[in-house]
A and B are shown apart, each in its own frame.
Chain A
Amino acid sequence: AQSVTQLDSQVPVFEEAPVELRCNYSSSVSVYLFWYVQYPNQGLQLLLKYLSGSTLVKGINGFEAEFNKSQTSFHLRKPSVHISDTAEYFCAVSEAGTASKLTFGTGTRLQVTL
């Protein structure tokens, strides 16, 4: 069975600093990988996705992530964060052929301060 581990429950960072949110997964088959963002009292919005092809994927709001198959990781990065990036970030994995069901990590709270 697939699983997702987000190693950091909270990440505090100053505005304009770089940030990396870590995500590791376990699966024995081909996977699709996603990062979603959730602002307070809202639903989940897709940040970026890896379905196939280039292992470096770019998403909205200046975020990017790199799929590393050997390390089973899909870390999210942004070179310079803004106050408005404060939110909860979820990594999720879906195995090919499983009706696109998602398994989510427990989330990372990114707190950006001045």
Chain B
Amino acid sequence: NAGVTQTPKFRILKIGQSMTLQCTQDMNHNYMYWYRQDPGMGLKLIYYSVGAGITDKGEVPNGYNVSRSTTEDFPLRLELAAPSQTSVYFCASTREGQPQHFGDGTRLSIL
């Protein structure tokens, strides 16, 4: 079982560039999430989705966009990369009342 798969694992961007972080899960989970992890800050929720076509903002959504066209995929889009978006990004999935399953993360540096 692949679980939650994130690509790429590492990326360096220049300020102002855009990119999409990919996330796919093969567990038929209806809930999916994007978090960012900064040193000493724990994980903060960026966006989440309760099913295909339904997305909502989390705690730190500014500068990001998401879409959910299928149950399996939940890409995260950075339109105009800024140094403050340097972080480790984690995608997760689950169903109601169950623990979240996490991907291995994408390490993003913006210079």
Contact = CB atoms under 8 A, between A and B. Distances in A.
Nearest to A6: B42
A24 B103 CA distance: 26
Of the listed residues B50, B95, B101, B102, the one surrounded by the most CB atoms of chain A closer than 10 A to its CB is: B102
Interface residues of A, number: 23
B99 interface: yes
A74 B76 CA distance: 32
A87 interface: no
A99 B50 contact: yes
A42 interface: yes
Chain B interface size, under 10 / 10 to 19 / 20 to 34 / 35 or more: 20 to 34
B90 A44 contact: yes
A13 interface: no
15 contacts: A9-B40, A32-B97, A34-B99, A36-B102, A43-B102, A43-B105, A51-B97, A90-B42, A96-B97, A99-B50, A99-B96, A100-B94, A102-B45, A102-B100, A106-B42
Interface of A: 4, 9, 32, 34, 36, 42-46, 49, 51, 90, 96, 99-107
